[in-house]
Structure 1
Amino acid sequence: MPLTTRAAVVESAGAPFTFTDVTLDDPGPHEAVVRIAAAGLCHTDLGVAGGGLPFPLPGVLGHEGAGVVEAVGAAVTSVVPGDHVVLSFTSCGECRNCRDGHPAYCAHWLPLNLIGGRRADGSATITRDGEELGGHFFGQSSFAERALVDERSLVKVDPEVPLASIAPLGCGVQTGVGAVWNVLRPKPGSTVAVLGAGAVGLSAVMAAALSPATEIIAVDRVAERLELARELGATRTLSDVRELAGVDGVVETTGSTAVLRAGVDALDARGTLVVVGAPPFGTEVALDVNGLLTGKRVVGLTLGDSETQSLIPTLVGLVRSGRLPLEKLIGTYGFTDIGQAVEDMTTGKTVKPVLVF
């Protein structure tokens, strides 16, 4: 039987989140119904809600969900009802990159996660009064009391860890961590710089602090963010990226082309800059070609290039042990206070809002 649940719906580009009852389709063979306990709010949600991407609206967003499995489709094998799960992105599981352990670069990633609003077969997961809504956002659409979730979006986690404390692992945190662990892979004595001390950047700082890097530099214009970066492991902070020089690895999270260019210029020979921040589609940046001939690398990144089934449980363990102090980024809000959470994230008052159901 289709299930009715309360959801935060974006009616049109630029409209606020409003609450309404929606109906979830019956779970397909590789889907599960999850009772959402917490969901992180991410800038990607706000960008889509503002009309920055061609996601079909009205629709239900949310892609950092965490909850408890209530029902599973006939072919689901990875979880059973009662399991605690963190929800992350989905992927086809069959293309070359999925088979090689790089599902964030799935050949069908954009339609399955960000712009399609439907299952791969074109069917809707969410309706309202018989009208199809945009759903299947990152295989989950978790801004609702219950979500219909792709099996490949589900990651079973330790039930002893509070779900509100680990919901952000599904997107922002694994992106920052993966930039350091999966791409930069700092060597003993190396220097890592993180440009932008938001949720992704501060996650990169925490990851670098768990690596052999000797110097970790956080760059941001906001003094409070730099102070937090020091608490999380930064050994030095800067308010002007132009002061940066001679670093081995850079994580660029701001989406500013001027900051990206300054980061590339600051690389030492054979250094690597990881591009995480996403400016508007079509944005270009000029680079000094002769400067690149010293062996510099500029690498784009989606979702940390993570294999979620192995990385997310590891991060949950680090949160539980206190070695990944994610709680210092999180501010909690009731689900119905999503408007306040949006405002506080936009103004910078809260680094990572988490909606608690």
Structure 2
Amino acid sequence: MRIQAALVESAGGPFTLRDVDLDGPRPDEILVRLTAAGICHTDLGARQIWPRLPMVFGHEGAGIVEAVGSAVTTLTPGDSVCLSYRSCGSCGHCTSAQPAYCEAGINALNASGTRTDGSTTLSRDGQPVFGNFFGQSSFATHAIAYESNCVKIHDLDPVLAAPLGCGVQTGAGTVLNVLRPTADSSLVVFGAGGVGLSAVMAAVAQGCTVIAVDPVASRRAVAQDLGAVAAFDPADVDDVAAAVRDITSGGPQYAIDTTGQPAVISQAIAALRQRGTLALVGIGTTAQFDIMTVLTKGLQIRGVIEGDSIPQEFIPRLITLHKQGRLPFEKLITPYPFSEIDAAAQAAASNEVIKPVLTFG
């Protein structure tokens, strides 16, 4: 079928709307008509370095099921869905309720640009267009998805539902699924973007004392509006770790880094109190830290993918918390029509907005 998709045709190039052809669903596939799609910094970062072009990104989709393959049993046409990451369902991690660490997940299922057999779901003028990003490529009017990354939703605006598939799930899941802080504990979040602010609101919902560290004033203001007791610019203090320890009377029990920056990770380690835990969420390359500090303080450093969530279980939990008023993620969202995707991406990259969400007419 002929659809419209936002193609990246050169490394670091713009999102350009093009007419492309999309395959019908194979037996294990689901055709989804997109109604909304969040823009994540993973999309923006990936387009700078992606080796297989042209490519369709997008991994925070929401929409309506239009058709299902013959092997699909959990969804039917007409269902409203939120799209998340894909997992195989059969490896040791998937069968032990840890699909975020699926042995096939990162490369073959989410970041190869193709199906597992090497074919593409998309083409233009008979030539392949790469996609299948996170098992969806939702920067398009329609997408092929899978049972493992489709979550049936009810009575939720798709503009609100879309970011649940990655950004909100990652930040809130790091708090609720991994750190699991008690109400008398404290937590510091380094980086108050969509993921960091989702962590802030989840920790506040747990009754924690929360601090946010971010250089962008508007994001610090949102953090405090969400309930952080303090939010400060790291450039405004001589010693970030000391400032955090002072506010938390000796250091927080928990820290989350969403930046992936080595210097910030070192600040988080220095800020934590004895036996504290640091969750690393931000994508980076390498980091150096003082091993003696980690050893003598008895710290734990934990990598986290997708908030350690099982989307079919965790996304409904997030929706329930939102309906209770305890997870007001609508405060992060700025809608844009799909035709303005490149402007929305630029606004996200420049920190003008926190979470742009594309809408499809």
What TM-score do the two structures reach when normalised by structure 1?
0.95
Partner of 2:218: 224
The letter of the residue matching 1:340 is A
Residues 37-46 or 127-136, more deviating: 127-136
Partner of 1:313: 316
Q: Is the 8 A contact 1:244 1:263 kept in 2?
A: no
The letter of the residue matching 1:308 is P
Partner of 2:259: 254
Partner of 2:353: 350
Q: What's the RMSD between the two structures over aligned residues?
A: 1.3
> For the residues of structure 2 that align with 1:178 and 1:24, how far apart are their CA atoms?
33
Partner of 2:202: 207
Q: Does 2:143 correspond to 1:147?
A: yes
User: Paired residue for 2:164, among 166, 169, 179?
Assistant: 169
The letter of the residue matching 1:317 is T
CA offset at residue 114 of structure 1?
4.2
Residues 184-193 or 36-45, more deviating: 184-193
Partner of 2:283: 278
SS state of the match for residue 247, structure 1?
coil
CA offset at residue 24 of structure 1?
1.2
Deviations 1:185-237 (A, max 9, x none): 10231111111111000000011011142x11111122221111011121222
CA offset at residue 319 of structure 1?
2.4
> For the residues of structure 1 that align with 2:336 and 2:35, how far apart are their CA atoms?
12
SS state of the match for residue 264, structure 1?
helix
Runs of 4 or more consecutive aligned structure 1 residues displaced over 6 Å after TM superposition: none
CA offset at residue 317 of structure 1?
2.4
User: Paired residue for 2:229, among 235, 243, 268?
Assistant: 235
CA offset at residue 17 of structure 1?
0.8
Q: Is the 8 A contact 2:270 2:293 kept in 1?
A: no
The letter of the residue matching 1:36 is L
- Within a 5 Å distance, the mapping from 1:1-357 to structure 2 comes to 3-51=1-49, 53-54=50-51, 56-158=52-154, 160-213=155-208, 215-240=209-234, 241-242=240-241, 243-245=243-245, 246-279=251-284, 281=285, 283-357=286-360
Which consecutive residues of structure 2, in runs of 5 or more, have no partner in the other structure? 235-239, 246-250
Change (3 A) 1:290 1:319: closer
> For the residues of structure 1 that align with 2:294 and 2:163, how far apart are their CA atoms?
37
Q: How much identity, in percent, do the aligned residues show?
A: 48
CA offset at residue 26 of structure 1?
2.0
The letter of the residue matching 2:267 is A
Partner of 2:237: none
Q: Is the 8 A contact 1:112 1:138 kept in 2?
A: no
What TM-score do the two structures reach when normalised by structure 2?
0.94
Deviations 1:74-130 (A, max 9, x none): 011111111100000001111111111111100011223443111122221111111
> For the residues of structure 1 that align with 2:164 and 2:335, how far apart are their CA atoms?
15
Q: Is the 8 A contact 2:281 2:305 kept in 1?
A: yes
CA offset at residue 320 of structure 1?
3.1
> For the residues of structure 2 that align with 1:238 and 1:309, how far apart are their CA atoms?
36
> For the residues of structure 2 that align with 1:102 and 1:293, how far apart are their CA atoms?
31
SS state of the match for residue 230, structure 1?
helix
SS state of the match for residue 200, structure 1?
helix
Q: Is the 8 A contact 2:34 2:143 kept in 1?
A: yes
The letter of the residue matching 1:250 is A
> For the residues of structure 2 that align with 1:291 and 1:150, how far apart are their CA atoms?
41
SS state of the match for residue 297, structure 2?
coil
CA offset at residue 22 of structure 1?
1.2
* Number of equivalent positions: 349
> For the residues of structure 2 that align with 1:36 and 1:81, how far apart are their CA atoms?
13
Which consecutive residues of structure 1, in runs of 5 or more, have no partner in the other structure? none
Deviations 1:297-330 (A, max 9, x none): 0101111111111001111222234321111100
The letter of the residue matching 1:192 is L
